[in-house]
Chains A and B, each alone.
Chain A
Amino acid sequence: MIVTTLLRLVLLLAFAPLMLGVIARTKAAFAGRQGAPVLQPYWDLGRLWRKGIVVSRTTTWIFWAGPVVAVTVPVVASLLLPMGALAAPLSFEGDVILFVYLFALARFFTAAAALDTGSSFEGMGAAREVTFACLAEPTLLLGFVVLARLADGLTLNALLGAHLAAAWGSSGASLALIVVCLMVVLLVENARIPFDDPNTHLELTMIHEVMVLDHSGPLLGLIQYGAALKLMVLGAVIMRMVLPVDTGNLWLDAGIFLGGQFVLAVVIGTIESVMARLRLARVPQILVGTTLVAVFAVVLVLR
């Protein structure tokens, strides 16, 4: 138990930035460039950690709380979620709800920290982020409703248990729809193309990146590290649905989990390379569309 928990934490904390590196490398390969080394995110984090901090005089403690919560929330959320076949150490009935709303808590603090700077530009980004988040939330919850219908229990361990392999045979269509919907949620939540561009800092259509403009040095590093952790935790949900294998061997399971995460990173990189960013007005339309598709998946599973 303790070994599993420690292994899970190490997997999450040590390998999360590597996913960003893989995504960047995939995008570079599509663009015909060699690209930065896959370990570049680690060097970036190290560089940010050694820098000084500039803090605006208008800010309060909320500005400091934002990045801290952004890192702690994915770690806490990961304790509720089975990572691959490695079962979650913390598990109780209804932890699904806590899992979903932990991310809402993190978003609240990031948005509050952005508003705390008093910059109208960041306020705009916060407004957009919160709007899109509340449109993406029903999709995530409906996805869990489908999983709950197929499982016998309301813990994340039960929802994402080994029964999923059999469930693909009996209600594969609903699961496939939910995987697509969750993929959209993953891209929105992590501010990836086609919903947001993690590389631009000076465009009016950007959403997430604008909120962190005032953060510098270690605080920015914490936010970027938190984003990487979030990507891995949300990615773990999708990966477990697509790849519900349980070998029983601890190290083999960990290897499968990591392999799956990197395949997911390559998929994200591919999506980012082949799609253009959507116009801002189209994003809510797509999100409502995915919610409706998720509703449809629930209807399919309920009959």
Chain B
Amino acid sequence: MYGVTNLLLIAVILINFFTLGSSRLNSCIRAVAAQGALLALIPLAAHGLTFHTVVLGVGAFALKGVLIPWVLLRALRQMRLRRESGPLIGYIPTMVLGALITSAAFIFADFLPLRPEHRGGLFIPTSLATLFVGFLLLMTRRDAVSQVLGYLVLENGIFVFGTLLAEAMPLMVEAGVLLDLLVGVFIMGIVMDQIQREFSTLNTERLSALKG
């Protein structure tokens, strides 16, 4: 049961905790990049070397592990921003919530009507936990960079789920998802730039004020 795949999935969950607890945007981006790179290895580890998994792995690594983090780090450098403006409910409560969600995902996954070969594995709980941690990041963080990171973590959760079905899902679908992700991050980059120019901060709460 404890193969390379499971170790990778556990590392993914640990990175979830790290992103919830870290206040430095730089290290957060690097952590999410590492998560993306680890995820790129999962199809290879779980399904062996085939054309499908190699393309998927290389594509995911290039996008999630290299390109998107590079874009984000570059944006961060240009905005001269090191520390985020703090979450809505503090780091420790966020981490505790994250742990509760992760445990809940593990319990919930046991109740799902899964196929016998997927039962008891770490794929489903990890994917659910990563998904919800992404949601949590999106909800609790105020600055745009962290929200983009939340979106990326959320997508990582979906990717883990997709890897489970890598044999059934055509390559085009996954390629499409990865492309959507890239386009999404680029659009968010443009939005971030606009927010920065308008308010000279990345705090998205300013957007809800009626007049600047």
Q: Does A296 contact B (CB under 8 A)?
A: yes
Question: When the two chains form their complex, are residues B92 and A303 in contact, meaning their CB atoms are under 8 A apart?
Answer: no
Contact of B2 among A170, A288, A303 (CB under 8 A): A170
Q: Does A173 contact B (CB under 8 A)?
A: yes
Given A288-B92, A292-B99, A299-B102, A173 and B10 touching (CB < 8 A)? yes
Question: When the two chains form their complex, are residues B13 and A296 in contact, meaning their CB atoms are under 8 A apart?
Answer: yes
Given A289-B17, A296-B99, A303-B120, A171 and B2 touching (CB < 8 A)? yes
Digit string of A154-195 for contact with B (CB within 8 Å is 1, else 0)? 000000000000000111110001000000000000000000
| In the complex, chain A residues whose CB is within 8 Å of the CB of B13 | 296
| In the complex, chain A residues whose CB is within 8 Å of the CB of B99 | 292, 295-296
Q: Does A293 contact B (CB under 8 A)?
A: yes
| Residue on A nearest B11 in the bound complex, by CB | A173
| In the complex, chain B residues whose CB is within 8 Å of the CB of A284 | 92
Digit string of B88-110 for contact with A (CB within 8 Å is 1, else 0)? 00011001101100110010001
Question: Do most interface residues of chain A lie in helix, strand or loop, or is the interface mixed?
Answer: helix
| Residue on B nearest A284 in the bound complex, by CB | B92
Question: When the two chains form their complex, are residues A285 and B2 in contact, meaning their CB atoms are under 8 A apart?
Answer: no
B147 to chain A, nearest CB (A): 21
| In the complex, chain A residues whose CB is within 8 Å of the CB of B102 | 296, 299
Question: When the two chains form their complex, are residues B110 and A285 in contact, meaning their CB atoms are under 8 A apart?
Answer: no
Q: Does B59 contact A (CB under 8 A)?
A: no
Contact of B6 among A173, A292, A295, A296 (CB under 8 A): A173
Q: Does B190 contact A (CB under 8 A)?
A: no
| In the complex, chain A residues whose CB is within 8 Å of the CB of B1 | 170
| Residue on B nearest A168 in the bound complex, by CB | B2
A125 to chain B, nearest CB (A): 23
| In the complex, chain B residues whose CB is within 8 Å of the CB of A288 | 92, 95-96
C-alpha spacing A172/B1, complex, angstroms = 11
Given A172-B2, A285-B21, A292 and B10 touching (CB < 8 A)? no
| In the complex, chain B residues whose CB is within 8 Å of the CB of A172 | 2
Q: Does B7 contact A (CB under 8 A)?
A: yes
Given A170-B2, A173-B7, A299-B102, A292 and B96 touching (CB < 8 A)? yes
Q: Does B14 contact A (CB under 8 A)?
A: yes
| Residue on A nearest B1 in the bound complex, by CB | A170
Given A173-B7, A300-B10, A285 and B92 touching (CB < 8 A)? yes
| In the complex, chain B residues whose CB is within 8 Å of the CB of A173 | 2, 6-7, 10
Question: When the two chains form their complex, are residues B95 and A292 in contact, meaning their CB atoms are under 8 A apart?
Answer: yes
Digit string of A265-303 for contact with B (CB within 8 Å is 1, else 0)? 000000000000000000011001100110110011001
Digit string of B161-184 for contact with A (CB within 8 Å is 1, else 0)? 000000000000000000000000
C-alpha spacing A279/B95, complex, angstroms = 19
Digit string of B1-39 for contact with A (CB within 8 Å is 1, else 0)? 110001100100110010001000000000000000000
B95 to chain A, nearest CB (A): 6
| In the complex, chain B residues whose CB is within 8 Å of the CB of A292 | 17, 95-96, 98-99
C-alpha spacing A171/B7, complex, angstroms = 10
A297 to chain B, nearest CB (A): 9
| In the complex, chain A residues whose CB is within 8 Å of the CB of B95 | 285, 288-289, 292
List residues of B (141-171) whose CB comes within 8 Å of A's CBs. none
| In the complex, chain A residues whose CB is within 8 Å of the CB of B2 | 169-173
B125 to chain A, nearest CB (A): 8
Question: When the two chains form their complex, are residues B17 and A299 in contact, meaning their CB atoms are under 8 A apart?
Answer: no
B126 to chain A, nearest CB (A): 11
B99 to chain A, nearest CB (A): 4
| Residue on A nearest B6 in the bound complex, by CB | A173
The 4 closest A-B pairs by CB, nearest first: A292-B99, A173-B10, A288-B92, A289-B21
Can you list 12 contacts pairing A with B, beta carbon distance less than 8 Å? Answer: A171-B2, A172-B2, A177-B10, A285-B95, A289-B95, A292-B17, A295-B99, A296-B13, A296-B103, A299-B106, A303-B110, A303-B120
Q: B residues bordering A, Cβ < 8 Å?
A: 1-2, 6-7, 10, 13-14, 17, 21, 91-92, 95-96, 98-99, 102-103, 106, 110, 120
